[in-house]
């Protein structure tokens, strides 16, 4: 390129920049790429990206997108990796020209939707499509497509969250607020910069002339009912004894159980335990005595509790002798 040709090109780019509205910052900044390679930059998008362009492909950016300084877009320039060497020998041996494989150092376009935020030092590979409303984190390396309204970070970039629930995302993509006239967008500025998404959707539908959308009220969770397992035991009447205190009709079974329990507790043979032994409390001391026919017999469970308490106080020889 001669000096005259270079000067005329710079003059043309300068005139194009002056003709672009200053509010379309990104288009003004990339005016030379728009003029020479047909980059498509939407209205009101801004930023200071680094363009690594290798003569093929385009960068397409929607409206109201933000690209931080240092974000890099690599358009084409991919070396072949299925050949013996990935080096372009045409540079070292120009007489043979560039081989068809290396001549194809190109890649598909990079497409950014509207309302996209690219943070600093992020790298976007050729052929990637970033959906509307997506957020690319600091230093992320984007090699795959990003769904709308997703937040990605890391190397390689991965989705860590969504900005809004799926129902709201679907409605935002349907309304496409970025396609509204600038005057209507300015009227919605307070809602756009706020956090009341429901209010914004209602106002945006009014600007679009659409009827209000029926929103289902969140239903309260059903009350949990207590489920009682069926019991084989017949229901007790109010006048029956407590289930924890067996009545005299189960005395034989309780006595047998008491003998086994006392034998284990006192470490003595079961035949040495007198099932007819009873205890009663006297004002002076506790002693063993023979039950008279008129003396009511104390229930076996009381004998167990008293023997267990005496077992903790008496030496072992007292029970074995």
Residue 313 pLDDT exceeds 60: no
Which residue from 72, 75, 73 is spatially nearest to 120, judged by alpha carbons?
72
- Across-strand partners of 52? 74
Catalytic residue among 14, 23, 79, 245: 79
Q: What are the pLDDT digits (tens) for 70-90?
A: 999 999 877 777 888 878 777
Residues of the chain with pLDDT > 90, as a percent, come to 41
**Where do we find the tokens 């009663």?**
280
CA terminus-to-terminus distance, the chain: 121
How high is the pLDDT of residue 243?
46
Dihedral sign for Cα atoms in the order 281, 282, 285, 288:
negative
Instruction: Count CB atoms within 10 A of the CB of residue 241.
Output: 12
**Tell me, what's the pLDDT at 249?**
46
DSSP 95: G
* Domains recognised in the chain with CATH numbers: 1-79+103-163 (2.160.10.10), 164-212 (no CATH), 248-320 (no CATH)
Confidence of residue 298 (pLDDT cuts 50, 70, 90): low
Neighbours of 161 (CB within 10 A): 10
Structural tokens at position 252: 């034989």
Q: Which residue has the higher pLDDT, 254 or 110?
A: 110
Residue 79 catalytic?
Answer: yes
Pairing mode of beta strands 117-118, 66-67: parallel
pTM of the model: 0.62
Residue 296 pLDDT more than 80?
no
Mean pLDDT of 236-262: 60
pLDDT of residue 281: 52
Looking at residue 50, the DSSP 8-state letter turns out to be E
Q: Are 124 and 142 in contact (CB under 8 A)?
A: yes
**For residue 36, pLDDT beyond 90:** no
> Cα angle vertex 31, ends 27, 32, to 5°?
150
Question: What confidence score (pLDDT) does residue 7 get?
Answer: 73
User: How confident is the model over 143-175, as pLDDT tens digits?
Assistant: 999 999 999 999 999 999 999 999 999 999 999
Question: Mean pLDDT score of the chain, rounded to an integer?
Answer: 78
Cα dist from 138 to 70, 122, 143, 320, whole Å: 10, 6, 15, 82
């Amino acid at each position: 390129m001669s000096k005259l040709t270079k000067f005329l090109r710079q003059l043309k780019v300068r005139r194009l920049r002056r003709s672009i509205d200053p509010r379309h910052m990104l288009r003004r900044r990339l005016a030379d790429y728009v003029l020479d390679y047909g980059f498509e930059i939407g209205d009101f998008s801004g930023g200071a990206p680094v363009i690594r362009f290798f003569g093929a492909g385009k960068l397409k950016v929607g409206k109201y997108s933000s690209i931080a300084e240092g974000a890099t877009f690599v358009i084409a320039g991919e070396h072949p990796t299925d050949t013996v060497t990935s080096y372009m020998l045409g540079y070292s041996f120009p007489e043979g020209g560039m081989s068809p494989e290396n001549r194809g150092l190109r890649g598909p376009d990079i497409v950014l939707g509207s309302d996209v935020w690219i943070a600093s030092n992020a790298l976007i590979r050729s052929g990637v499509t970033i959906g509307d409303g997506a957020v690319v984190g600091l230093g992320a390396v984007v090699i795959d497509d990003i769904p709308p309204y997703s937040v990605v970070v890391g190397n390689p970039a991965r989705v860590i969250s969504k900005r809004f629930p799926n129902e709201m995302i679907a409605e935002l993509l349907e309304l496409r607020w970025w396609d509204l006239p600038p005057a209507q967008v300015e009227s919605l500025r307070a809602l756009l910069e706020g956090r009341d998404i429901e209010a914004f959707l209602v106002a945006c539908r009014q600007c679009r002339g659409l009827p209000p959308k029926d929103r289902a009220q969140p239903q309260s969770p059903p009350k949990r009912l207590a489920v009682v397992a069926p019991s084989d035991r017949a229901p007790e009447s109010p006048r029956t004894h407590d289930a924890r205190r067996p009545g005299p009709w189960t005395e034989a079974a309780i006595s047998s159980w008491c003998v086994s329990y006392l034998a284990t507790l006192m470490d003595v043979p079961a035949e040495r335990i007198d099932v007819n032994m009873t205890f009663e409390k006297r004002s002076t001391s506790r002693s063993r005595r023979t039950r008279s026919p008129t003396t009511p017999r104390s229930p076996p469970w009381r004998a167990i509790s008293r023997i267990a308490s005496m077992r903790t106080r008496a030496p072992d020889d007292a029970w074995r002798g």
